[in-house]
């Protein structure tokens, strides 16, 4: 079973269709699957529902798929960095579902773990809980949230082996490991690809069972959204 593909185009071949649901890892622009997003743009597939914490910025990340109007609906926790997003939303050209960030993460985790719903206290008494079932446990009210799965999860990892075992780097990890578990198919772009056995089994973050296809690139743009530094003394 070969999981490695020569480029993003072949890694996504046969997986894309109009109206599908795609999970995309990343927080802001950190840890986003930038090569796979670019290839989805090139494919022209449209009417997408995209589950991702953010919506990129103008001209980068998922912002690219907004420019081409390929996204019909976003499920996100925060989209404040994207002017085009605001324009499309206010014109009614884009549907939007806000989830609290932790609820979004847990919905994805649950989906990947075969849990159809769970109860959380996040959002009780707010707009987020409207129309949802609530239940009291031990004197506290909780709201029911549903697990989430997607037709495709696109993930960025630092390193993979040929079996699909993954290692993430620093805060570029974020939503990537949970999304890898919740895609019916998961495609991963990596910075380093090694033979199976070269990653210490104890150091693996995501086991290869969750990964169907891997593509490696030498160079990534990895744009920084808020470059903040201190002066050397």
Partner 1 sequence: MAWTREEMAQRAARELKDGFYVNLGIGIPTLVSNYIPSGITVQLQSENGMLGMGPFPYEGDEDPDLINAGKQTITELPTTSYFDSAQSFGMVRGGHIDLSILGAMQVAENGDLANWMIPGRMVKGMGGAMDLVAGVKRVVVLMEHTAKDEPKLLHRCTLPLTGAGVVDMVITDLGVFQIDRHGSGMTLLELAPEVSLQEIQGKTEAGFALGNGIG
Applying CB under 8 A, which residues contact partner 1? 27-31, 53, 76-81, 86, 89-90, 98, 100-106, 108-109, 120-128, 158, 168-178, 205, 222-232
Half-sphere exposure of 142 toward its Cβ, with a 13 Å CA cutoff? 12
How many other CB atoms are found less than 10 A from the CB of residue 124? 15
How many other β-carbons are positioned within 10 Å of the β-carbon of residue 46? 16
H/E stretch holding 106 reads helix 101-112
Half-sphere exposure of 212 (CA within 13 A, CB side): 17
* C-alpha pair distances (Å), 157 with each of 8, 40, 79, 81, 226: 14, 18, 23, 24, 22
Question: What is the DSSP pairing of strand 134-137 with strand 140-146?
Answer: antiparallel
Query: Taking Cα atoms as reference points, which of 82, 19, 74 lies closest to residue 51?
Result: 74
Is residue 25 within 8 A of residue 168, CB to CB? The reply is no
**Residue 227 in tokens:** 């470059």
Helix (H, G, I), strand (E, B) or coil at 220: coil
> Would the CA dihedral through 164, 150, 24, 45 be positive or negative?
positive
Distance between CA atoms of residues 90 and 88, nearest Å: 6
């Amino acid at each position: 079973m070969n999981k490695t593909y020569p480029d993003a185009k072949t890694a996504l071949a046969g997986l894309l269709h109009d109206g599908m649901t795609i999970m995309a890892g990343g927080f802001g622009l950190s840890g986003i699957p930038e090569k796979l997003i670019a290839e989805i743009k090139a494919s022209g597939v449209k009417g997408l529902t995209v589950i991702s914490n953010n919506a990129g910025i103008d001209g980068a990340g998922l912002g690219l798929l907004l420019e081409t109007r390929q996204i019909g609906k976003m499920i996100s926790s925060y989209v404040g960095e994207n002017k085009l997003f605001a324009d499309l939303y206010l014109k009614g050209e884009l549907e939007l579902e806000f989830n609290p960030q932790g609820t979004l993460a847990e919905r994805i985790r649950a989906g990947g773990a075969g849990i159809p719903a769970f109860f959380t206290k996040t959002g009780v008494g707010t707009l987020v809980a409207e129309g949802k079932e609530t239940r009291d446990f031990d004197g506290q009210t909780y709201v029911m949230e549903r697990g989430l799965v997607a037709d495709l999860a696109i993930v960025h990892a630092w390193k993979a082996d040929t079996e699909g075992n993954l290692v993430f780097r620093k805060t570029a990890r974020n939503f990537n490991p949970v999304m890898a578990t919740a895609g019916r198919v998961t495609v991963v772009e990596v910075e380093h690809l090694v033979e199976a056995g070269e990653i210490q089994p104890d150091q693996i973050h995501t086991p290869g069972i969750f990964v169907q296809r891997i593509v490696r690139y030498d160079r990534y743009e990895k744009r920084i959204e808020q470059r903040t530094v201190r002066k050397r003394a």
